[in-house]
């Protein structure tokens, strides 16, 4: 099955509940060499049965288009419904081509979502005895305070909260019996200069409370909490807890070497007022890699240096054009050295190869011919349009005309433009009815076998490359 995308995610284990939804981020990278239309779907982990609940879903577009090497961020929200039974749910993000969903698809790593009991929590009952005891102790120690005013209200009555700081009365509100709670915010002004101050309440003080009564507090200003040093998920939750909607939060993820995925900057600054419809911008640098310099290294040394820097070996591509004077070392790299890039960036290397031949020392050939040398002569490929060997010159080596030639000098020519490439001379030995020779051309070692059949000479050449190319074998036929 061909790999079309590479999927990485921010985490593999999370805990969720009906009041604690979570979001997992994925990076989906096109590792094919073509444009892709990819569908996205959360699916059960391999080896598990059943289907996923509909509260595990992809946020935003469920089908995306990716150019080669393009990275796209995808988010899955896990928001269990109230009343769900505690369990562990194992799932993956599946990316696939809609036209060939079974043939062209890839999965993320398995994510384990531990779902806590999500039963609906009933409104809290007021523990009057406990509160009275604690309040009395506090009054005796500090002579009054915030809790004292609360004791002035009877059980089940709305206390007077106006003029108090919202942070100071939060525990009191939590212990009231009510239907729902809402906090409204108004900008600071000369009339309401103190941020966080409760300036109005509904219902009024001493109103009887119950499950059918909704509490609404109007608070001056909103304070933005300090979220520097927190993970993106923790920072997001802190801002939401402060009353800032998710739609008013933007997260920037610049590439930074050594980043750990935590907030480094926030705007507006911590402890400043959050105005209605304002945008809180968080900077959460994404771990990146500084591209090392690999020019003038061999291909293997360059690959190893890139791997040590943190790049995936399958994202490294090497081209090896043939150039005069080339030595097989890397001459070009993209991206350039010292660029800061994502670890899934494709690295392109150019390592030109020279067509080198082994040139043997010229061997003096006696003028006389050997008693029998059936291979001797110039042989031309029967296919005039061949892209392989075009001709072979075979010269027997013998010092005694009465001897049968056992050794030959062969000179082969490959198809090139504007004229054929001369592979040079090498020595061949006769074994049975077959000539054997080796050409060592640096980037490739070729084993050559020549046999005679009537007026035709046949060749079989096995080429073993020093780079990642597979071994190739070719056969040709020649005539004089």
386: its two tokens: 């061949």
pLDDT at 378: 93
Model pLDDT for residues 144-186, shown as the tens digit of each residue: 444 444 434 445 889 999 988 877 787 788 788 887 777 676 7
pLDDT at 128: 47
Do 93 and 181 lie in a common domain? Answer: no
Are the C-beta atoms of 28 and 66 separated by less than 8 Å?
Answer: yes
Please indicate, yes or no, if residue 363 is contained in any of the structural domains.
Answer: no
Please indicate, yes or no, if residue 369 is contained in any of the structural domains.
Answer: no
pLDDT at 367: 42
Do 302 and 271 lie in a common domain? Answer: no
Tell the residue number behind the tokens 């409204």, with chain if given: 184
Q: Which residues contact 309 (CB under 8 A, 6 or more apart)?
A: 289, 290, 291, 292
Do 93 and 106 lie in a common domain? Answer: yes
Are the C-beta atoms of 94 and 47 separated by less than 8 Å?
Answer: no
Q: In what order do the strands lie in the sheet with 340-341?
A: 255-257, 286-290, 340-341
> How high is the mean pLDDT of the chain?
80
Buried b / exposed e across 380-395, counting CB within 10 Å, b at 16+? bbeeeebeebbebebb
pLDDT at 136: 47
Please indicate, yes or no, if residue 300 is contained in any of the structural domains.
Answer: yes
Do 134 and 90 lie in a common domain? Answer: no
CATH number of the domain that residue 171 is part of: 3.30.10.20
Among the candidates 177, 200, 220, a domain finishes at 220
Please indicate, yes or no, if residue 399 is contained in any of the structural domains.
Answer: yes
Please indicate, yes or no, if residue 438 is contained in any of the structural domains.
Answer: yes
Do 205 and 134 lie in a common domain? Answer: yes
Are the C-beta atoms of 82 and 117 separated by less than 8 Å?
Answer: no
Model pLDDT for residues 6-36, shown as the tens digit of each residue: 888 878 888 887 667 788 888 888 888 788 8
Please indicate, yes or no, if residue 331 is contained in any of the structural domains.
Answer: yes
Q: Which residues contact 436 (CB under 8 A, 6 or more apart)?
A: 428, 429, 447, 448, 449
pLDDT at 380: 95
Do 334 and 412 lie in a common domain? Answer: no
Among the candidates 333, 350, 367, a domain finishes at 350
Do 300 and 283 lie in a common domain? Answer: no
Are the C-beta atoms of 16 and 114 separated by less than 8 Å?
Answer: yes
Do 331 and 308 lie in a common domain? Answer: yes
CATH number of the domain that residue 419 is part of: 2.40.128
Do 214 and 190 lie in a common domain? Answer: yes
Please indicate, yes or no, if residue 448 is contained in any of the structural domains.
Answer: yes
DSSP structure class, residue 209: P
Do 387 and 467 lie in a common domain? Answer: yes
Residues of the chain below pLDDT 70? 1-2, 18-19, 117-155, 183, 185, 187, 190, 271, 276, 355-372, 399-402
Do 29 and 56 lie in a common domain? Answer: yes
454: domain range?
Answer: 377-479
Please indicate, yes or no, if residue 173 is contained in any of the structural domains.
Answer: yes
Write out the E strands in 80-150: 87-96, 105-107, 111-115
Do 195 and 267 lie in a common domain? Answer: no
- Count structural domains, the chain: 5
The pairing of strands 265-267 and 280-283 is: antiparallel
pLDDT at 382: 93
Sign, CA dihedral 358-359-361-366, equals positive
221: its two tokens: 């200003």
Among the candidates 312, 332, 350, a domain finishes at 350
pLDDT at 361: 47
Is residue 295 packed enough to be buried (19+ CB in 10 Å), middle (13-18) or exposed (0-12)? middle
CATH number of the domain that residue 254 is part of: 3.30.10
């Amino acid at each position: 099955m061909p790999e079309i995308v590479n999927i990485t995610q921010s985490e593999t284990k999370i805990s969720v509940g009906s009041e604690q939804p979570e979001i997992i981020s994925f990076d989906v990278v096109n590792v094919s060499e073509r444009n892709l239309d990819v569908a996205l779907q959360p699916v059960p982990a391999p080896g598990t049965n059943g289907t996923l609940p509909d509260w595990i879903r992809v946020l935003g577009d469920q089908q995306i288009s990716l150019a080669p090497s393009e990275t796209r961020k995808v988010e899955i929200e896990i928001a269990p419904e109230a009343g769900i039974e505690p369990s562990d749910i194992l799932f993956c993000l599946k990316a696939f081509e809609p036209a060939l969903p079974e043939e062209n698809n890839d999965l993320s790593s398995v994510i384990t979502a531990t779902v806590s009991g999500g039963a609906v929590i009933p409104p809290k009952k007021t523990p009057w005895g406990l509160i009275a005891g604690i309040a009395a102790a506090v009054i005796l120690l500090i002579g009054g305070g915030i809790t004292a005013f609360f004791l002035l209200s009877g059980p089940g009555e709305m206390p007077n909260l106006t003029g108090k700081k919202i942070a100071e009365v939060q525990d009191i509100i939590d212990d009231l019996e009510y239907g729902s709670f809402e906090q409204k915010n108004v900008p600071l002004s000369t009339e309401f200069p103190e941020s966080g101050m409760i300036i109005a309440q509904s219902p009024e003080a001493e109103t009887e409370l119950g499950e059918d009564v909704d509490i609404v507090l109007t608070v001056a200003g909103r304070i933005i909490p300090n979220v520097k040093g927190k993970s993106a998920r923790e920072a997001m939750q802190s801002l939401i807890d402060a009353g800032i909607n998710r739609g008013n939060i933007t997260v920037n993820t610049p590439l930074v070497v050594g980043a750990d995925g935590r907030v480094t900057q926030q705007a507006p600054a911590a402890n400043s007022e959050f105005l209605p419809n304002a945008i809180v911008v968080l900077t959460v640098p994404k771990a990146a890699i500084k591209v090392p310099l690999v020019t003038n290294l061999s291909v293997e040394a360059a690959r190893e240096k890139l791997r040590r820097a943190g790049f995936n070996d399958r994202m490294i591509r090497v081209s090896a054009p043939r150039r005069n004077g080339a030595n097989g070392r890397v001459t070009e790299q993209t991206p350039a050295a010292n660029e800061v890039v994502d670890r899934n960036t494709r690295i392109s290397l150019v390592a030109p190869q020279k067509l080198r031949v082994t040139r043997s020392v010229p061997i003096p050939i006696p003028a006389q011919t050997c008693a029998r040398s059936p291979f001797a002569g110039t042989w031309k490929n029967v296919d005039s349009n061949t892209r392989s060997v075009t001709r072979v010159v075979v010269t027997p080596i013998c010092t005694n005309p009465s001897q049968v030639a056992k050794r030959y000098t062969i000179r082969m020519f490959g198809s090139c433009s504007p004229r054929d490439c001369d592979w040079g001379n090498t020595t061949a030995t006769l074994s049975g009815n077959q000539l054997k020779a080796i050409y060592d051309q640096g980037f490739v070692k070729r084993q050559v076998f020549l046999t005679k059949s009537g007026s035709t000479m046949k060749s079989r050449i096995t080429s073993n490359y020093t780079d990642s190319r597979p071994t190739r074998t070719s056969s040709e036929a020649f005539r004089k």
